[in-house]
Amino acid sequence: MGIQDRQYYRDDESAPRGFDAGNSTMITKIVVVTVAIYILDLFIGGRDHWLMRDMASGPQDLTHPLFWWRYLTSGFAHDPTGYQHILFNMLTLWFLGRSVEAVYGSKEILRFYLIAIVLGSVVQALRQYLMVPQGEWARCLGASGAVVGIVMLFVCNFPKEKLLLFMVIPVPAWLVGVLLVGMNLLGASGVEVSLPGSSDRIGRVAYDVHLVGVIFALAYFKFKWNFGRLVPAKFLNISKALKPTPNLRVHDPDGYTDSDAEGDALLEKVNQHGIESLTARERKILEDYSRRMRQKHR
């Protein structure tokens, strides 16, 4: 079984590096852009925080196609009345998202994140439009749905990794996933639940948006989706034609038979025991193996 058949591998700049994701930059860029928008609103938004309000989405936008862009921009807006909302979301995204980016690659993680934002915003708007009286409609803002999706992808890829629950108690990632799903199900059913940094709807908690993020991430992982493959091949060929051709040595794939088998065995070890179970030598072998496979399947 090759690395491309494993859950760790996707077709762009990914590598099975677990927590060692220092070269991953897309998550950091998302955090920087989101925080910059929040700070910009503090300077130009005024007392009514018009920038955040205009970026937020709601059911009233469903019937106005010119405002459908809000179902994306709402994921980059956060509660302007306090910092807890954006702080919790961005810290969670930064700490866990970089490891997920190392699995799927920077381009694919961006695609996943943006689609998760739109899905959560649209589902929340549809639910209100169909089930809530118009006078009680609430606008939605925040990245919590997409962040929850990233957290669930982390749980699926690294179920045995230790995370600090409430920043204190070390627990396996799978338990965090179970608690996250359970608390949001309780909240959606009407039980009072306190989730830090989760006021996606202005003044309320958007449990429905969180659950959309959970379902989307589980489906993405289960069915091994890759949204990069949705791009028509002719566009990929055009982009490749515009890139300068590097001078590469041609390798004989048969010469890697033993190394491939060893790399495959190390991937299985990571799957069973986590990335920290590898020695320094094994990590180097796995990185070399991943690099060869990415070159082979480009």
- The length of the chain in residues reads 298
pLDDT at 12: 42
HSE-CB for 70 with a 13 A CA cutoff: 23
Fold of the CATH domain 3-230: Rhomboid-like fold (1.20.1540)
* Residue located via tokens 């493959």: 229
Q: CA of 38: how far to CAs of 57, 67, 88, 109, 276, in Å?
A: 16, 21, 14, 22, 36
Question: Residues 6 or more apart from 155 whose CB is under 8 A from it?
Answer: 173, 174, 176, 177
3-state secondary structure the chain: CCHHHCCCCCCCCCCCCCCCCCCCCHHHHHHHHHHHHHHHHHHHCCCCCHHHHHHCECHHHCCCHHHCCHHHHHHHCCCCCCCHHHHHHHHHHHHHHHHHHHHHCHHHHHHHHHHHHHHHHHHHHHHHHHHCCHHHCCCECCCHHHHHHHHHHHHHHCCCCEEEECCCEEEEHHHHHHHHHHHHHHHHCCCCCCCCCCCCECCECCHHHHHHHHHHHHHHHHCCCCHHHHCCHHHHHHHHHHCCCCCCCCCCHHHHHHHHHHHHHHHHHHHHHCHHHCCHHHHHHHHHHHHHHHHHCC
Q: What is the dihedral of CA 89, 174, 8, 220, to 10 degrees?
A: -70
- Per-residue pLDDT tens digits of the chain, which is 298 residues long: 443 434 444 444 334 444 444 444 899 999 999 999 999 999 998 888 989 999 999 999 999 999 999 999 999 999 888 888 899 999 999 999 999 999 999 999 999 999 999 999 999 999 999 999 988 888 889 999 999 999 999 999 999 999 888 778 889 999 999 999 998 998 888 776 655 544 454 446 778 899 999 999 999 999 999 998 876 555 555 455 555 655 555 454 444 556 677 777 777 777 776 777 777 777 778 777 777 766 654 5
Q: How far apart are CA 158 and CA 172, in angstroms?
A: 9
Separation in Å, CA 201 to CA 140, 151, 214: 4, 20, 18
pLDDT (0 to 100) of residue 177 = 94
Say what the pLDDT of residue 9 is: 41
Tell me where in the chain the CATH 1.20.1540.10 domain(s) lie: 3-230
Sole residue written with tokens 């566009």: 235
Phi and psi torsions of 172, nearest 5°: -70, 150
Beta-carbon count within 10 A of 59 CB: 21
Q: Which two tokens stand for residue 258?
A: 């033993």
146 neighbors 120 (Cβ within 8 angstroms): yes
Q: What is the pTM of this model?
A: 0.71
Residue 157 and residue 102: Cα distance in Å, rounded? 11
Please tell me the predicted confidence (pLDDT) of residue 14. Answer: 38
Strand partners, 171: 163
